[in-house]
Chains A and B, each alone.
Chain A
Amino acid sequence: MDVEILSRIQFAFTISFHYIYPPLSIGLGLLMVIMEGLYLKTGNKEYETLARFWTKIFALTFGIGVATGIVMEFEFGTNWATYSRFVGDVFGSALAAEGIFAFALESGFLGVLLFGWNRVSSTVHFIATLGVFLGSMFSAVWIVIANSWQQTPTGYHIVGEGLNARAEITDFWAMVFNPSSMDRLWHVWQGAFLAGAFLVLSVHAYYLLKGRYVEISKKAFKIALLIATAFSLLQLVSGHSSAEGVAVNQPAKLAALEGHFDSLSVADMYLLGWVDKEEETVTGLKVPGGLSFLLHQDFGEPVKGLNYFPEDERPSQVNAVFQFYHIMVALGMLMIALTVFASFQWWRGRLFKQRWLLWAFVFAVLAPQIANQAGWFAAEMGRQPWVVYGLLRTSDALSKAVTANQVLFSLIMFTIIYVVLFLLFIYLLNKKIKHGPYDENLIDKRPKQKDMAKLLNSKES
């Protein structure tokens, strides 16, 4: 295999693995802020117990997120040197802002959040939690802006030619508010809230099913359900708005998302399907003219298809882009159905009486995770063959000093490390969940009176 494919696999693998964790940190951060806020407001110890419990799980996700995040920062330089030189001037300020405003905020306060429960007042601790949460939100801002600039570059000019060409910033705010950044930022934030909320739902549904920690689990479940319902629905809005942006700014990507080949014709929308690239057909369940309608509110309006674009300016992995996109949409719909139905049951006062629904929530934790991954795969593969849309090709963006063997070495190294890391993560997560929200030293270990009585009676007889 050559350097390009190995570097792409390595980047895709390391970023996918990394992206399990930051959304959980952001989402759990929101839940923790709410739980701790409720504790401050009501003084109810149960909220404090919940906040402390979720902080421990947060620590786990945050720790792995940081460790795998530094890898991403270094990989731009190690594997994508030409890209780094090209985008450094533009992308750099976003990345520097992330480090200095966002990451420093979250990591700075993290120590107080995790270890400061007994050292600072509850108000100061709440401020630390808020600081960590806001820091993680800001991180998403700068990273999404940088990525969106790669999708829809604005506010720059090109200096130099050929291999020495590079983008220089001309307008910082145009770069920040590039056409896709705000839609995508909402989409990413909300995806992260869903990841966190569904984890909370899953764990507390499990407790409810097992009859453990019932009172606090009901509280936590309701908070998380509110968030999950609201953001599942809102995700539809940001997703639609994002797709409209793609239609305008990256029409070739849009065509790939729906497997639309004909250069200028009415475009269908598929619920599910399979793309045959050779035959340029899609087999599946479709709404005829659906895509035309969504974009132009007219079933007869033509949409640019893949063949409208030169062969070397459109994504080649059409079926993969199509499938990832449809998996994301399908899971989004599933989350809406599940949360809206559960909210309805809550309103009717039977939320915790249906065991099947709770079981559904136990497993639904995977839905936002897979949807987040699939969404990014669709976005990034749909951008190909470009790494910076219309400006720099992925195949030109590589490090020229790096050999295939070196990348193979690091790819194997990361695979081994990450597999071990993931197994440890699952093991420890499971352990923390089994252990439950109460600290050992808070649990009353003295034998119960009736047990003692039984013991005494058996001795006598």
Chain B
Amino acid sequence: MATFLGIDYPTLWYLVVGAVFSGYAILDGFDLGAGAWHLFFKKEQSRRIALNAVGPVWDGNEVWLVIGGGALFAGFPVLYASLFSAMYIPFMLFLAFLIFRAISIEFRSKEEMRWWRTMWDVLYSLASILLSFLLGVVLGNILLGMSIGENYEFAGSWLEFINPYAIMVGLTTLALFMMHGAIYLLMKTEGRLFTKLTILLRQGIIFFIIMFSLTTLYTLIYIPHLSDDFKSNPALFIMPVLAFLSIANIPRLANKRKYRSAFIFSALSISMLLILVAIELYPVLILSTIDPAYNITVYNAASSEKSLGIMLTFAAVGVPLVLSYTFFVYKTFWGKVQLDETSY
């Protein structure tokens, strides 16, 4: 089997997909988080500033989802096909909310009427909340495993996706994004909105810590296989420790009002949590609750080596390019939001 730096291609592609989704969670995470807070801002001016804090970047951030979806389709077609057709209803709702969010941002500022703006504000905020929640529900179900049967076809009912664990992971994801989004908004605002956000952030951190502790406890007690790797390999134990330290650092930095550093650590925490997920899942991508023989793994779901080789080349060339113009865009809009005639 072809390898690069001693890692086989399917595993490499697993890392690429992981990196893309972690990029998506960090970037769209703050958009969604900011959206989730939207109705907490009461003044028209505050809402406009909050909206324009994500205005120029949310679309670019959503690209990471498109790339992630493409990367799954390309690299792990079996996983892509089975997961998406199994979770048909959740994914369809996810698509509907993505559309609602996009058009709310786009259409809100087009009319002055109060009912018009309120309508889009509510839709924008609800869509952001439900998108975050649904992302967590999908993740929760992947962690739990699902009724995968013969030919890696889903053989259960979609109702099995509504379970306590998935809902907990959903709420944790929402809390994580809300914390992340509040920190982002703190970097982009000033004055009274800034002051209000300092209070909201405190509540967001509490919400996250409660949800995160509950989910962690539940995982350790009821889904013991999700911590096997860490138990059997003490060296790996450093990862959860680092993740906890990184999370603990966020309230510390927030109290010191060092929001830029806090943002770095909340971004870091998101990727650390996803790394924990990635370590625990590997090499199984979706555990079959029917028969382990039907487990969808990195190897039986992967495209051919030839195909993976081509895509790895694309990624090696493309990702630095994407990062460079993402950086350029952020640099252009660096600093506090200033409204002008091109704003939403």
Contact = CB atoms under 8 A, between A and B. Distances in A.
A71 B99 contact: yes
Contact of A92 (B77, B91, B105, B154): B77
B85 A107 contact: no
B84 interface: yes
Nearest to A55: B342
Contacts of A406: 88-89, 92, 158
A101 B343 contact: no
Given A100-B314, A168-B307, A95 B74 contact: yes
A130 to B, nearest CB: 12
Interface stretch (B163-171, B256-264, B322-330): B322-330
Interface string B280-311: 00000000000000000000000110110011
Interface in A302-347: none
A105 B325 contact: yes
B81 A70 contact: no
A446 interface: no
Interface string A82-103: 1011011111110111111101
Contacts of A131: 325
Interface string B69-84: 1111111111011111
B280 to A, nearest CB: 24
Interface string A68-85: 111101101111011011
B315 interface: yes
B96 interface: yes
Interface of B: 55-57, 59-60, 62-63, 65-67, 69-78, 80-86, 88-89, 91-92, 94-96, 98-100, 102-103, 105-107, 110, 151, 153-155, 158, 303-304, 306-307, 310-311, 314-315, 318-319, 321-322, 325-326, 328-329, 332-333, 340-343
> Number of contact residues on A: which range applies?
35 or more
Interface stretch (A213-221, A285-293, A379-387, A397-405): A397-405
Given A100-B315, A107-B59, A109-B329, 17 more contacts: A63-B59, A64-B106, A67-B99, A70-B65, A77-B81, A78-B92, A93-B311, A99-B71, A108-B329, A111-B55, A112-B56, A159-B304, A164-B151, A401-B154, A421-B103, A424-B103, A428-B107
Contacts of B70: 73, 92, 95-96, 98-100
B318 A401 contact: no
Contacts of A104: 60, 63, 67, 318, 321-322, 325
B74 A63 contact: no
A417 B96 contact: yes
Nearest to A440: B341
Given A77-B84, A108-B325, A111-B329, A92 B311 contact: yes
A72 B59 CA distance: 17
Interface in A34-90: 59-60, 63-64, 66-71, 73-74, 76-79, 81-82, 84-85, 87-90
Contacts of B342: 114-115, 117-118
A89 B308 CA distance: 8
Given A60-B106, A84-B80, A409-B89, A100 B322 contact: yes
Which 6 A-B pairs have CB atoms at the shortest separation, nearest pair first? A88-B77, A92-B74, A77-B84, A111-B56, A100-B318, A399-B85
A399 B80 CA distance: 12
B60 A118 contact: no
B56 A99 contact: no
A112 to B, nearest CB: 6
A401 B80 contact: no
Contact of A168 (B62, B304, B315): B304
A441 B343 CA distance: 14
B326 to A, nearest CB: 6
Contacts of B98: 67, 70
Nearest to A166: B77
Contacts of B99: 67-68, 71, 417, 421
Given A88-B303, A169-B306, A111 B95 contact: no
Interface in A155-185: 159, 163-164, 166, 168-170, 172
For A91, A93, A101, A441, which residue has the most chain B Cβ atoms within 10 angstroms? A93
24 contacts: A63-B59, A63-B105, A70-B62, A70-B98, A74-B94, A77-B84, A84-B77, A84-B81, A88-B303, A92-B70, A93-B74, A93-B310, A93-B311, A96-B314, A97-B318, A99-B70, A99-B71, A104-B60, A108-B322, A115-B56, A120-B332, A168-B307, A401-B155, A421-B103
